[in-house]
Amino acid sequence: MKTWLTLAIRQRYWLRSYLGYPPVRDALPNTTHCALAALQYASVIPRIITQNVDGLHHKAISHVWNRNQLDSGILELHGTLHRVHCKHGHDVSRNIFQDRISAANPQWHAYALELEKTGNRPRTNPDGDVVLEGVSYDDFVVPECPECLMDGLHNTNIKPHLVFFGESISQERKRRSYEDIEAGSRLLIVGSTLATYSAFRLVKHAIELQKPVLHLNIGPSRADGLPGVQKVDIASGDIIRQVTRAVLGTSAVQDNIIAELLRSGIVKRPPPDHSDEDYSTNRNTADMSSS
Ligand SMILES: [Zn+2]
């Protein structure tokens, strides 16, 4: 199901997202992303299914993996903030779309530059937008899709490649997620409450197939008490890196790429803000790695 937005909602969405995107664009993988990348590179974890939309699993390994490896190795269950498409399927990178917004809205572009300069950026929430108080969105111009314009259509119905709240994931993505679970011998779940059904059903699928399931997460989750799920109440933090070193043994030291991945990653993440609604928070702190 695709929900296309009215003009007023599009203006509000895109202004908030336009201002919220630079920190998402500039974000760097943390130590967990990099340790999982090391396990992927070493073929211990061939596939990752992520509920995150920030592209950080890609960033952690994109310097040593090609496009095909990225596409087959990482499934973004709920899409990505880094690409947008119009109602007629014309797809473009987010950076190009951000530039189009800047060109169509010089006053907001100047405002964004000012925020960058002063370091006074509003906090970007996990869905990649900011909260703006007391702002009128009426003068914000959502750029038209240039490819539609070449066909004589004026179309500002443009969305990021995200599964919005209330939408379903595509049949293709659903099929692929089941396939990833089936291809693995076991399932490791890192930092997810599994609140969204699209993720929870994959855990159920793994259990039905009698695959061992290990779940690392602090606090309660939807899978608690499910037979077949071994739960460890722990933050992934440095644990994943330590486990990766233990699993990879000498190659963690002797393979330059793996050694570098295990030295990489930012250590601190921005503190979570629990004022966000649960769906966003849950959706953006979850990874499921199947191997
Ligand atoms: Zn178009």
Write the pLDDT tens digit of every residue in 39-90. 999 999 999 999 999 999 999 999 999 999 999 999 999 999 999 999 999 9
Q: What percent of the chain shows pLDDT beyond 70?
A: 91
**Does residue 165 carry a pLDDT above 60?**
yes
pLDDT at 277: 29
**Does residue 4 carry a pLDDT above 70?**
no
Residue 86 Cα to ligand 1 midpoint, Å, equals: 5
Q: How far lies 258's CA from each of 25, 191, 255, in Å?
A: 25, 23, 5
Domain assignment present for 109:
no
Domain that holds residue 192: 28-77+169-290
Residue 180 Cα to ligand 1 midpoint, Å, equals: 32
Domain assignment present for 91:
no
Domain assignment present for 111:
no
Domain assignment present for 151:
no
Q: Which of 33, 57, 58, 78 is catalytic?
A: 78
Active site residue 78: yes
Q: What confidence tens digit (pLDDT) does each residue in 104-141 have?
A: 999 999 999 998 888 888 888 878 889 888 888 999 99
pLDDT at 291: 59
pLDDT at 234: 86
Which position has the higher pLDDT, 206 or 237? 206
Residue 87 Cα to ligand 1 midpoint, Å, equals: 6
Q: Please identify every residue whose CB atom is under 5 Å from ligand 1, which is an ion.
A: 86, 88, 90, 145, 147-148
Residue 122 Cα to ligand 1 midpoint, Å, equals: 31
pLDDT at 273: 43
Residue 156 Cα to ligand 1 midpoint, Å, equals: 8
Among all chains, which residue has been given the structure tokens 């003068």? 139
Domain assignment present for 184:
yes
Single-letter code of the amino acid located at 280: S
**Does residue 283 carry a pLDDT above 60?**
no
N-term to C-term CA, the chain: 30
pLDDT at 3: 57
Residue 284 Cα to ligand 1 midpoint, Å, equals: 28
Domain assignment present for 1:
no
Domain assignment present for 66:
yes
Report the number of distinct structural domains present in the chain: 1
CATH code of 41's domain:
3.40.50.1220
Q: What confidence tens digit (pLDDT) does each residue in 231-243 have?
A: 999 887 778 999 9
Domain assignment present for 115:
no
